A and B are shown apart, each in its own frame.
Chain A
């Protein structure tokens, strides 16, 4: 069993009062709660904080934790001191408890679980929630995801343990960023007739070098040379299904969006989003002398005033 320093996790001294422990937990929970936090490691961090608080807020569990000793480093393999089982462990001190494959959190979860198991009332299974990042291409074509979870479970005598579970989930095409999949009954097993929990898959889309998604629509920058924007052009635009030719009308302005209908991401219930080519006018940063000369001629020969709206609005 690996040691975890619950006091260190909450940033409090070992002799901290219950009020100080609660205060430290709340402060950290505000920062790391996955529903409100934008910290990148919020979920893992909050799990550690929640686990520490779950044990230290309960006087009985805290006493049991303190009895484990304090001379260990976090992550260090250790065994509870002799006699600990007799006093605290969930099998009532039969001496059969193995600590090798047990997580410290499960050990302490078991301490209050004694009453619940004895009562035999239905306990619903735990919901599992997994966030999976997929590429735009996978979202467009569908994919298979291997998901590995170390889930809490109970052996036949009701003792908590961790069990590795591997899911292979086939994801049909049609994902968008933030979309959820629910697999009813595929979460933790219910006990005493309680329903099985659900498995939730939250999909996020990995950033793509070209396409930016908004729901099922995609946006791509269409860079045009000044003369292409002025005169019009036939240009190749990449899509998820390969390049297509797009006619850029003469007089196209920067920021205009040219819509390619049905070239976005497919939707789960059929149909597709659109692809928008967002026009940007780019100029040569290192023009040759010849190019400079051509631009000078254009400047001399044009009546175009790009800032005429200044004169119209500022008198």
Chain B
């Protein structure tokens, strides 16, 4: 069997994307991504810039948005709400992970 060898690279957190690139890579239509920006579910790196650029985490969010939209038939408003709630869950889980790591186990 043919084995393909790859040098995997960390998803570059510094990488930035235009709205068109975000749409291409996530499968979300540009118009809906713009609406998600209006709902603050997606945030450009610099909101005052002439052309909006998005950080790497926005690609993760846009891909998730595409899956949720397709699998749950969500409109953009519902999608934005789901994304913001999932982001809160993610933050709480990260907090839980930190507290769990810091809490000593019972040792006898």
A residues apposed to B, CB below 8 Å: 26, 29, 33, 35-36, 46, 50, 124, 127, 145, 164-172, 174, 177, 179-183, 186, 195, 198-201, 212-214, 217-219, 221, 223, 255, 257, 268, 276, 278, 280, 282, 285
Q: List 30 A-B contacts (CB under 8 A).
A: A35-B67, A46-B71, A124-B24, A124-B27, A166-B1, A167-B4, A167-B5, A168-B3, A168-B6, A170-B7, A171-B8, A172-B7, A174-B10, A177-B97, A179-B11, A180-B10, A180-B11, A180-B60, A181-B9, A183-B8, A183-B9, A198-B25, A200-B11, A201-B8, A212-B100, A212-B101, A213-B101, A214-B101, A223-B107, A257-B102
CB distance from B93 to the nearest CB of A (A): 9
B residues apposed to A, CB below 8 Å: 1-11, 24-25, 27, 60, 63-64, 67-68, 71-72, 82, 86, 97-98, 100-105, 107-108
Q: Which of B11, B64, B97 contacts A181 (CB 8 A)?
A: B11
Interface centre among A172, A195, A199, A212 (most CB of B within 10 A): A212
Cβ-Cβ contact count across A and B, 8 Å cutoff: 96
CB distance from A304 to the nearest CB of B (A): 23
Query: Given A33-B71, A36-B86, A212-B101, A166–B25 Cβ distance below 8 Å?
Result: no
Interface centre among A29, A177, A182, A217 (most CB of B within 10 A): A182
CB distance from B29 to the nearest CB of A (A): 13
- Residues of chain A with a CB closer than 8 A to B103's CB: 278
- Residues of chain B with a CB closer than 8 A to A164's CB: 1
Are the C-beta atoms of A195 and B9 separated by less than 8 Å? Answer: no
| A-B complex: 6 closest residue pairs judged by Cβ atoms | A214-B101, A212-B101, A180-B11, A169-B8, A181-B8, A268-B10
Are the C-beta atoms of A276 and B4 separated by less than 8 Å? Answer: no
Are the C-beta atoms of A50 and B10 separated by less than 8 Å? Answer: no
CB distance from B12 to the nearest CB of A (A): 8
Closest A residue, CB atoms, query B106:
A280
Are the C-beta atoms of A219 and B4 separated by less than 8 Å? Answer: no
CB distance from A183 to the nearest CB of B (A): 6
- Residues of chain B with a CB closer than 8 A to A255's CB: 104
Closest A residue, CB atoms, query B4:
A167
Closest A residue, CB atoms, query B63:
A127
Are the C-beta atoms of B6 and A186 separated by less than 8 Å? Answer: yes
CB distance from B102 to the nearest CB of A (A): 6
- Residues of chain A with a CB closer than 8 A to B2's CB: 166
Closest B residue, CB atoms, query A33:
B71
CB distance from B22 to the nearest CB of A (A): 13
Q: Which of A168, A201, A217, A278 contacts B104 (CB 8 A)?
A: A278
Closest A residue, CB atoms, query B99:
A214
Closest A residue, CB atoms, query B70:
A50
What is the CA–CA distance of A22 and B92 in the complex, to the nearest angstrom? 32
Are the C-beta atoms of B86 and A35 separated by less than 8 Å? Answer: yes
Query: Given A167-B4, A168-B5, A182-B9, A219–B27 Cβ distance below 8 Å?
Result: no
Are the C-beta atoms of A182 and B100 separated by less than 8 Å? Answer: no
- Residues of chain B with a CB closer than 8 A to A174's CB: 10
Interface centre among A35, A198, A219 (most CB of B within 10 A): A35
- Residues of chain A with a CB closer than 8 A to B9's CB: 172, 181-183
CB distance from B36 to the nearest CB of A (A): 15
Closest B residue, CB atoms, query A168:
B5
What is the CA–CA distance of A285 and B3 in the complex, to the nearest angstrom? 56
What is the CA–CA distance of A314 and B27 in the complex, to the nearest angstrom? 62
Are the C-beta atoms of B101 and A219 separated by less than 8 Å? Answer: yes
Having A167-B5, A167-B6, one finds 13 other A-B pairs with CB under 8 Å, namely A33-B68, A35-B67, A166-B4, A170-B6, A171-B8, A179-B11, A180-B60, A195-B24, A214-B98, A221-B107, A223-B107, A278-B103, A285-B108
